[in-house]
Structure 1
Amino acid sequence: MKRSKVVGREVRRRDPDRARASILAAATAEFAALGLGGARVDAIADQAGINKRMLYHYFGTKDDLYRAVLEEAYAAIRAAEGEIVLGRGSPAEAMRELVLFTWRYYREHPEFLSLLATENVNKGAALGGSARIRALNSPLIAKIGSLLDQGVAEGKFRRGVDPFKLYVSIASLCFFYLANRWTLGVSFGRDLSEPAEIEAWGEHVVGVILGYLRP
């Protein structure tokens, strides 16, 4: 076991891309679980199978690493969204697909929600210093805007919908349920983690969004 760990370290020294990926994966888990303040660079380096010197070589400070983790998290969801062809089918079908994609992604990537919660506690300070973040997110809003225009032109969507506000509405309906399902479940006596409840909420969000968009 000890020998394999040493071999793993040697491989990462000779493969910068693999080393960076290992660091980012370990750091994502650490920051998602413990937040910026609680995360330890020693633990991240150990989990990645490298030494701290190499970690600092690739990412600079702990804050720099945290920012890189956030950027990578946004890049991952935007890349996955990019596989959705929003212009395919009717505008309503495309919007339904976007809503359900967002719902599924949030469910399958709780680390993303944890990172967002941490960064909001920090008032977006790390993202404010990112040169990538707007470039990562702006294309999605532009695509939603085009989809809305198509829906208006076909008489399916009402005019005057702000694509940014629409996306925030979708994200909010998905995020709030998952972030608060335990307290909501206890307060109202419902198991919101049941598969049937999870499936029903996704359809509920679709209904809310499409109902809002009707002319």
Structure 2
Amino acid sequence: MAKAKRTLTWQRDPEGMRLRILEAAKQEFAAHGLAGARVDRIAASAGANKRMLYYHVGNKDELYLAVLEGAYDKIRSEERGLDLEHLDPPEAIRRLIEFTWNYFLRNPEFLSLLQTENLARAKHLKRSTKVKSMHSPFVEMIRTVVRRGVESGDFQVAIDPVQLYISIAGLCFFYLSNSATLSVIFGRDLLDKKAKDERLAHMVGLVLAALTGRSAEMLDVVKAPKKRAAVAQTL
């Protein structure tokens, strides 16, 4: 009876079934990595069976690549909604940092997937026909913000947009992906609210100081992290 019910669901809503499979796979790969992930667990979590999984997505490697592509598409899609082109350049960079930080906090499975794929030397990502095209508009968006900042006199340097984003993402990623060991080493909980607010203020101040040539104190980002963090949560 249960098998017949699954078959009817599959036939009535094939796209819904595919999305459930991808969500279950994302959680499985994030928790266990590619090597430790099990197709039978993914199928069971999605309310499917292996035959349905292979039909909708493909084998394990194809499923993993589809999850990776979906993860990148999700963050790039949300970044496009930031509307950075219509903000003053310093505020646009501030918003990008706040978004990146809070996105990583809300989506820890994204960080796990990145770690898994980097351990594989991007072997699967290199096969993607979609990922590179996702990033070109995003890079151009940052390039435009930097150019406007230089033209307005807000920024002192026309920094490479790719380097700028890697620096922003790196400041967020390293802290969060290593928070367990760093908390032990430095004897403080790096994931309590106060520590996270301080980290966000530090990153905003650091990046804007590099771009503007002004100190973080002059930029008013160190002494009021709570207010800024609250704004970031609403983005």
Normalising by structure 1, what TM-score? Answer: 0.95
1:100 equivalenced with 2:98 (yes/no): yes
Give aligned-pair identity as a percent.
47
Contact 2:104 2:111 in 1 (8 A): yes
Deviation at 1:46, TM superposition (A): 0.8
Specify whether residues 211 and 9 from structure 1 end up closer, same or farther in structure 2 by C-alpha distance, changes over 3 A only.
Answer: farther
- C-alpha separation in 2, matches of 1:204 and 1:187: 20
Quote the residue 1:114 is aligned against: 112
- C-alpha separation in 2, matches of 1:172 and 1:6: 48
Amino acid at match of 1:157: F
- C-alpha separation in 2, matches of 1:9 and 1:177: 45
Deviation at 1:137, TM superposition (A): 1.4
Quote the residue 1:147 is aligned against: 145
Query: Which residue of 119, 130, 149 maps to 1:132?
Result: 130
Aligned residues: 213
- C-alpha separation in 2, matches of 1:153 and 1:9: 60
- C-alpha separation in 2, matches of 1:163 and 1:35: 31
Runs of 4+ more than 3 Å apart? 5-9
Q: Which runs of 5+ in 1 are unaligned?
A: none
Quote the residue 1:87 is aligned against: 85
Contact 1:13 1:19 in 2 (8 A): no
1:7 equivalenced with 2:5 (yes/no): yes
Per the alignment, in what secondary structure is the counterpart of residue 155 of structure 2?
A: coil
Normalising by structure 2, what TM-score? Answer: 0.87
Quote the residue 1:28 is aligned against: 26
User: What root-mean-square deviation, in Å, do the aligned CA atoms of Structure 1 and Structure 2 show?
Assistant: 1.3
Amino acid at match of 1:170: I
- C-alpha separation in 2, matches of 1:203 and 1:9: 51
- C-alpha separation in 2, matches of 1:145 and 1:56: 41
Which range moved further: 51-60 or 111-120? Answer: 51-60
Amino acid at match of 1:131: T
